Amino acid sequence: MKALEPSNVPISLYIHFPWCEKRCPYCDFNIETDKKDGDEELLLLAILKDLDDSHEYIGNRKFKSLYFGGGTPSLISVKIIEKIINRLNEKKLLEEGCEVSFELNPKEVKEDYINNLVSIGINRVSIGIQSFDANTLSSLERNHNKNDSIKAIEIASGVETIDTTIDLIYGVMGQSLESLQKDIEVFCSYEIDHLSMYQLTIEPNTIFYKKELHLPSDVLIESMEDEAKEILNTNGIYQYEVSSWSKDAKKSRHNMNYWMYGDYLGLGPGAHSKITTKNSIKRMIKLKTLNSYIKNPAKTLDTFIDSDSYDLDLAMNLLRIKGGVSFEEIEKSNIYIPDSFLQKRLKGIEDELLEADGFRATQIGYKFLNDTINLFN
Amino acid sequence: MKNIRNFSVIAHIDHGKSTLSDRLIEYCGGLSAREMSEQILDSMDIERERGITIKAQAVTLNYKKDGEVYQLNFIDTPGHVDFSYEVSRSLSACEGALLVVDGSQGVEAQTLANCYTAVDQGLEVVPVINKIDLPQSDPDRVKKEIEDMIGINSENAPLVSAKTGEGTEELLDMLVRDIPPPEGSPDAPLQALIVDSWFDPYLGVVSLIRIKNGTLNTGQKFKIFTTGQSYLADEIGIFSPKKKKTKILSAGEVGYLVAGIKDIKGAPVGDTVLEYNDETTEALPGFKKVNPKVFASLFTVSSEDYEKFRDALSKLILNDSSLVYEPEVSDALGFGFRCGFLGTLHMEVIRERLEREYDLDLISTAPSVQYEILKTDGTVLKCDNPSQMPVSNEIDEMREPIVLVNVLTPNDYVGNVITLCTSKRGIQKEMNYFGAQVSIIFEMPLSGVIVDFFDQIKSSTKGFASIEYSLIGFRASDLTKIDILINDQKVDALSMIVHKSFSMMKAREIAKNLQKLIPRQMFDVPIQVALGSKIISRETVKALRKNVTAKCYGGDISRKKKLLEKQKKGKKKMKQLGRVSIPQDAFLNYFSSQD
């Protein structure tokens, strides 16, 4: 593969906290439900050590965004988060104006808590609402209700220095078009600039996978998507990625970095990294269980993206961006485009799955994104 | 020579032939108990899985009795009607045959047919009642059936249980006493029959031979009668059942011969082995050339595999002289081969072997019989491929192959059998009662017999009936071709010839089936069935609305990659017809349309 120049590639940081109170039936993330006293301190030490040992991946770059995800990061005391941010600041690893996101469950959004987060440098919160509808929440076995969610939104959106995003889910058993409509109308009634809206997918190794579920038909799901788009667009919220919607200037910088094929470092159990090296792209996964990670934070399972797998690796990220990427942006972001990639793009244009300008899926190509991406497989 | 006994076993599938064979091998010390853990003679995976014997195999055993050592050469025979040709080949190397009948079931049609062949070939038939350990076993009834239906005395038939080993010795004694030793002379000039030949990747062609006269030594020069080619016998030996080299094979014996022959055509089955310089000795009577009854086209899913496919077929035919094939080009499916098979089971076995042993993904078209077409210009055309049928205004008359089917069924199911056979355009010719069993003879189009008939007859008689059939000729019939269009494109490989009275029903079935089998695509896919230019049935595979796209979290794209990898693999197993991806199964819808 062509020699790549890592120092020109933007980089973000993701930090994983594995604990949840319980496992949600649709969740296949790397989580643990048995948090013990002292665990978070041990994890903190491991993360800090991991960060110190990651110099070779970071080089002289600074992180353009930082994301605390999980699991449920809000189960962690703010002090732990603070120590991590302090260490990053000491090492001067955060870019000026760095986007720092933090995930919470609605029940944990309290005024004091949010103020504490703000004081340590968090400037964006993501609240896992999923739905305002009691039936949908019960199908998903979530342990919060509509009131918890409304309160959380009111508190978070009341703090001027932070941006708020919420998660909504559709295609849930028993969910009607009207119920999703209502969810979105509630969202639109608040001054929130960002929404993560995704279809329920049943993944292997989840509780739902073993059950017989009556999911809505694909016709209903399509009308849900159409209806959601209608309402959101009317309210000035536009889709910019498969499951991301926002007001124009409020795209998540952290997520955009994934889709724009930026580098990212992941710290914490099972965290994923993508690092550009001189002659290939290296994808790494940390050890999955808490204990194995704490014992050996630097250890990773590596996959190297070579010229055979590069086209797919790149396309499955770039093509998620709704508006596509222009060739100027590709060049500006130091994204390497091999000839084989351009050949496959031409086939996509011929099949009317890709637009002839820049790199972007057509309307039909975006509906059938898997097929479009498979052009590069 | 007086102590040699050459024999075959005639038995219906499941009547315990393989188990009985194992018992004989064990009793004569051919293999240790540990080596007996699997059934020996069915050596191909597919044979074992399907419980059928495809290729004839031979085993030489020594049986000691009253101070004499008998050499028993046991030549295995396939039990399925598709492979009846192999049976007659095996029988021609023998002086006798054990007729094994399940004591709880009775005589079956296929057994009957093979038994007649044995009697025709002058063999001594020794009846044996097996499975006497089963509580429902009724040896007296079965003995009477054998006498009534086959006309051989079965009063003293040994009662055995191959499972427990009971009666094995009695059986061996009877075998040695009743089956005559071979005739011929070791001092006469060499004359040996090639019973079977197969290709071994290390040895080249290996032939199973029966020495009728003279002797064959290692290193001896010999010739093949029809080709006139001479070879040196590099290696000769017997199967005991393990391959065992010997120095000499003598008149009356059965063994294998390896002579560095590279091509199976160099040692044709049924040919005669003679001294290399012998110009006077005559050839032994060979075998009737077998004609394939069922035809289908095979194509590779991926056109890149064509060369590999051609290579695989040329290797496969080394072991299966009953398979015939020639190249074919389809507008829809590209390059492939039109193949002729002994029956649909033979076809399935070949397809499975190609896919498994040669790692190919194949598409098989619906099986067809060979028709005779009288054209308006007075010529007669043989046509086994619907896509090569002349246009209707060039056809004066269509004729289809007719078979005589003998169904043997317990009394209770006579009504069901008649209903089923009539629905296949069968005409009842005869009905004979043998105790509790009834033999019903029908004249039926072969096309009604080749697909699913066995399964249907089994399911309509709780598994009790059995069938046997033979070709009796061609008869004019009201036949027509139906074409299938997928996404407005005619798929020549899906065309089929059907009786006019069935065309509407068939068309509806095919369209419905294809609708179920073709996955939804990004656009509506119309499926049409046409009779000439007229569409007689239509279904639509509704367009897929969209892909399911999941949230991608924390930079973890590994799950998505796995999914895409799986989709890619799935797609590789589908045939691209224009913009439409069609799975392999869709091409076999002729089979599934019967449900």
Give B-chain residues touching A317 at CB under 8 angstroms: 557
Residue A362 lies in a domain: no
Q: Which residue has the higher pLDDT, B33 or A116?
A: A116
Give B-chain residues touching A283 at CB under 8 angstroms: 557-558
Interface A-B, measured as beta-carbon pairs within 8 A, has a size of 87
pLDDT truncated to tens, each residue of chain A (377 aa)?
666 788 889 999 999 999 999 999 999 888 999 999 999 999 999 999 999 999 999 999 999 999 999 899 999 999 999 999 999 999 999 999 999 999 999 999 999 999 999 999 999 999 999 999 999 999 999 989 999 999 999 999 999 999 999 999 999 999 999 999 999 999 999 989 999 999 999 988 899 999 999 999 989 999 999 999 999 999 999 999 999 999 988 999 999 999 999 999 999 999 999 999 988 899 999 999 999 999 999 999 999 998 889 999 999 999 999 999 999 999 999 899 999 999 999 999 999 999 999 999 999 999 999 999 999 98
Distance between CA B278 and CA B220 in Å, rounded? 13
- Answer whether A199 sits within 8 Å of B557, measured CB to CB: no
Q: What is the pLDDT of residue B353?
A: 87
Position B170, amino acid: E
| CB-based contact, B569 to chain A, within 8 Å | no
Domain extent at residue A183: 6-257
Q: What is the pLDDT of residue B266?
A: 84
Residue A200 lies in a domain: yes
Q: Which residue has the higher pLDDT, B286 or B66?
A: B66
Q: What is the pLDDT of residue A204?
A: 86
Q: What is the pLDDT of residue B291?
A: 78
- Answer whether B560 sits within 8 Å of A377, measured CB to CB: no
Residue A116 lies in a domain: yes
Nearest by CB: B548 against A199, A313, A317: A199
User: Chain A: residue nearest B544 by CA?
Assistant: A218
Residue B414 tokens, joined: 């006579």
Give A-chain residues touching B545 at CB under 8 angstroms: 218-219, 221-222, 367
Distance between CA B252 and CA B550 in Å, rounded? 74
pLDDT in tens, B240-262: 777 788 999 999 999 999 998 88
Nearest by CB: A377 against B522, B546, B568: B568
Give the SS3 label for residue B530: strand
Give B-chain residues touching A201 at CB under 8 angstroms: 548, 550
Residue A281 lies in a domain: no
Name the B residues in 504-533 with CB < 8 Å from any A CB.
522
- Answer whether A221 sits within 8 Å of B553, measured CB to CB: no
pLDDT in tens, B497-532: 999 998 999 999 999 989 988 989 889 999 999 998
Residue length of chain B: 595
Give A-chain residues touching B559 at CB under 8 angstroms: 28, 203
Instruction: Please say if the pLDDT value at position B81 is more than 60.
Output: no
Residue A245 lies in a domain: yes
Q: What is the pLDDT of residue A141?
A: 94
Pick among A244, A318, A367, A372 to test the B interface (most B CBs inside 10 A): A367
- B233 Cα to chain A: minimum distance (Å): 53
Decide the pairing of beta strands B294-300 and B324-330.
unpaired
Q: What is the pLDDT of residue A183?
A: 97
- Answer whether A243 sits within 8 Å of B552, measured CB to CB: yes
- Answer whether B561 sits within 8 Å of A316, measured CB to CB: yes
- Answer whether A258 sits within 8 Å of B567, measured CB to CB: no
Mean pLDDT of chain B: 86
- Which candidate, A164, A96, A165, A106, places its Cα nearest to that of A132? A106
Q: What is the pLDDT of residue B35?
A: 55
Residue B150 banded pLDDT, cuts 50, 70, 90: confident
pLDDT more than 90, % of chain B: 42
Residue B53 banded pLDDT, cuts 50, 70, 90: very low
The three state secondary structure string of chain A is: CCCCCHHHCCEEEEEEECECCCCCCCCCCCCECCCCCCHHHHHHHHHHHHHHCCHHHHCCCCEEEEEEEECCHHHCCHHHHHHHHHHHHHCCCEEEEEEEEEEECHHHCCHHHHHHHHHHCCCEEEEEEECCCHHHHHHCCCCCCHHHHHHHHHHHHHCCCCEEEEEEEECCCCCCHHHHHHHHHHHHCCCCCEEEEEECCCCCCCCHHHCCCCCCCHHHHHHHHHHHHHHHHHCCCEEEECCEEECHHHCCHHHHHHHCCCEEEEECCCCEEEEECCCCEEEEEECCCHHHHHHCCCCEEEEEECCCCHHHHHHHHHCCECCCECHHHHHHCCCCCCHHHHHHHHHHHHCCCECCCCECECHHHHHCHHHHHHCCC
- Answer whether A219 sits within 8 Å of B550, measured CB to CB: no
CB A256 within 8 A of CB A264: no
Q: What is the pLDDT of residue B392?
A: 87
Residue B56 banded pLDDT, cuts 50, 70, 90: very low
Residue A367 lies in a domain: no
Total domains, chain A: 1
- Answer whether A367 sits within 8 Å of B560, measured CB to CB: no
- The lowest-confidence range among A139-148, B430-439, B582-591 is B582-591
- B545 Cα to chain A: minimum distance (Å): 6
Q: What is the pLDDT of residue B108?
A: 82
Q: What is the pLDDT of residue A83?
A: 97
User: Chain B: residue nearest A260 by CA?
Assistant: B555
Give the domain CATH number at A41: 3.20.20.70
Q: What is the pLDDT of residue B86?
A: 66
Give A-chain residues touching B569 at CB under 8 angstroms: none
Q: What is the pLDDT of residue B55?
A: 47
Distance between CA B275 and CA B347 in Å, rounded? 38
User: Chain A: residue nearest B542 by CA?
Assistant: A219
| CB-based contact, B562 to chain A, within 8 Å | no
pLDDT in tens, B306-353: 999 999 998 887 767 778 899 999 888 889 999 999 888 889 889 988
Q: What is the pLDDT of residue B320?
A: 73
Give A-chain residues touching B555 at CB under 8 angstroms: 14, 258, 264, 266, 272-274
Nearest by CB: A316 against B544, B553, B557: B557
- Answer whether A369 sits within 8 Å of B556, measured CB to CB: no
Instruction: Please say if the pLDDT value at position B54 is more than 50.
Output: no
User: Chain B: residue nearest A205 by CA?
Assistant: B559
> What phi, psi does A291 have (nearest 5°)?
-65, -45
* Other beta carbons within 10 Å of B568: 12
Residue A108 lies in a domain: yes
Pick among A201, A276, A366 to test the B interface (most B CBs inside 10 A): A201
pLDDT in tens, A14-70: 999 999 999 999 998 889 999 999 999 999 999 999 999 999 999 999 999 999 998
Q: What is the pLDDT of residue B380?
A: 95
